[in-house]
Amino acid sequence: MTLKLVKNINNIRLISSNSSRLSQFYKTSLYSSASGNQNVIKEEKTPLGKELESIIKSGGPISLHKYISLCNTHPKFGYYNAPEAIGPKGSFVTSPEISQLFGEMVALWLFTQWESNGCPQKVRFIEFGPGNGTLLNDVLRTLKRFPKFFNCLEEVNLVEMSTTLSTKQAKSWIDPSLDGVEFGKPIKHPQHNQSFTWFNHFDDLYSKCYEDKQTFTFLIAHEFLDALPIRRFKKTEFGFRETLIDIDNNEESPYNFKLIQSKTPTEGNILLTPIQHLYSHLQKDMELELSSDLIQFLPKFFNLISKRNDRAGGLGLIVDYGDNLVKGNSLRGIKDHKFVNILSSPGEVDLSADVNFKLISQLAMIEQLYPQDKQNPIFIHGPQYQKDFLHKMGIQYRLAQIAQKLSNTPEDEKTKNDLIKGYKRLCDPMDMGKLFKFMAITNIRGAPLTFE
């Protein structure tokens, strides 16, 4: 869920190394509604596009939040319900898809944190947006080498809205003959102790986990937050005004929809009320992206980590692309490994936005969203670059170890070259090494491994 590494690596380098050029890139390539060409032909409306048009005609312009939510997760026409949304055949690939080394390093880190937290005997995993299931597959495969930890893992919970992806995950982890999963119903792994349960909403899982005070919880959100729908606001002389989606009948535009600015406050302005002071420094005409889903998600995420009310607590790991600052125009569309206009082909384009890691830290400290608790606080560590996390965990040594065991046969040489290429893509500062960040959330003041 994801940047999902676009195949045109030159675009990645342009984006990650020059923010001013990135801004211009978005304005000229991704956000322009009209082309200025009198001979432009309108895009054919997608099935979701027709539904969006009907919604807007009956109720007026919609928020970016609603547009993104429908485009990505519509139960019938949403992008993530496509059969091959993620991977070489989809619009993007993720770090676990690139190399097994990524999942192995995450697994080793989780093991060290299990030990640092006193080796709790009852453990659960929660992964948000597991995608094709590659990360969890690599993590569990690696943790089998540490039976004391692996045998304490009683349950694996997956938050996945896509029925297509949840079925793929179940086939990969449990039984290739499964036709699908029933949300909320545990499935016992035939060979191991763990039960696997899928939830299409975090709220259902949160209630279950919060009532269980005895189980230590590991929460993993890898390229999940970037896919949460955002709202965009512009600072005006009258305050913040929300950006909306309307129908575009302009014959000079190839798109069927356009961005407009609300002239009056919307329901989205309610989102800003408890945190508006964080953005008082923004000047007129500056833009701001916020995710109401993120603001609602994080307090629950934090609560499962905290030890308040005599709970076992837990630990969270967030991995995503973004920065430690406010952004106003990071929303992007990706289709077939290429950037496209966010208004193009609704339901056939992956829409995502940069994660504001600074906001995550700020939300943890805001009393309205997460009451201060001096006895049972949580602590934010990072963000740090992906390359730093992986190198501190010893990815380079693991690569050398595997390479030494391979022979000189053509098949092994190919495996070796693929591993080296994968390592470089994950760790090169001009590739994914600085583009992606790691953040840890703990209930222990001391910094966890790699975050010192």
pLDDT for position 304: 94
Q: What is the CATH number of the domain that holds 187?
A: 3.40.50.12710
pLDDT for position 25: 39
pLDDT for position 358: 92
What domain range includes position 264? Answer: 9-442
Domain annotation covers residue 1: no
pLDDT for position 91: 45
pLDDT for position 38: 58
Domain annotation covers residue 451: no
Domain annotation covers residue 389: yes
pLDDT for position 13: 28
pLDDT for position 173: 86
Domain annotation covers residue 22: yes
pLDDT for position 298: 93
pLDDT for position 301: 95
SS (H, E, C) the chain: CCCCECCCHHHHHHHHHCHHHHHHHHHHHHCCCCCCCCCCCCCCCCHHHHHHHHHHHHHCCEEHHHHHHHHHHCCCCCHHHCCCCECCCCCEECHHHHCHHHHHHHHHHHHHHHHHCCCCCCEEEEEECCCCCHHHHHHHHHHCCCHHHHCCEEEEEEECCCHHHHHHHHHHHCCCCCCCCCCCCCEECCCCCCEEEEECCHHHHHHHHHHCCCCEEEEEEECCHHHCCCEEEEEECCEEEEEEEEECCCCCCCCCEEEEECCCCCCHHHHHHHHHHHHCCCCCCCEEEECHHHHHHHHHHHHHHCCHHHCCCEEEEEEEEEECCCCCCCCEEEECCEEECCCCCCCCCEEECCEEHHHHHHHHHCCCCCCCCCCCCCEEEEEEEHHHHHHHCCHHHHHHHHHHHCCCCHHHHHHHHHHHHHHHHHHCCCCCCCCEEEEEEECCCCCCCCCC
Domain annotation covers residue 452: no
- pTM of this structure: 0.87
When divided into structural domains, the chain yields a total of 1
Domain annotation covers residue 95: yes
Spell out the per-residue pLDDT of the chain, length 452, in tens: 443 433 333 333 233 333 333 343 344 344 545 445 557 899 999 999 999 999 999 999 999 999 999 999 998 999 988 765 554 444 447 888 889 999 999 999 999 999 999 999 999 999 999 988 999 999 999 999 999 999 999 999 999 988 888 998 998 888 899 988 999 999 999 888 899 999 999 999 999 999 999 999 999 999 999 989 999 999 999 999 999 999 999 999 999 999 999 999 999 998 888 888 889 899 999 999 999 999 999 999 999 999 877 889 999 999 999 988 888 899 999 998 889 999 999 999 999 999 999 999 988 876 445 555 556 688 999 999 999 999 999 999 999 999 999 999 999 999 999 999 999 999 999 999 999 999 999 998 899 999 99
Domain annotation covers residue 450: no
Domain annotation covers residue 331: yes
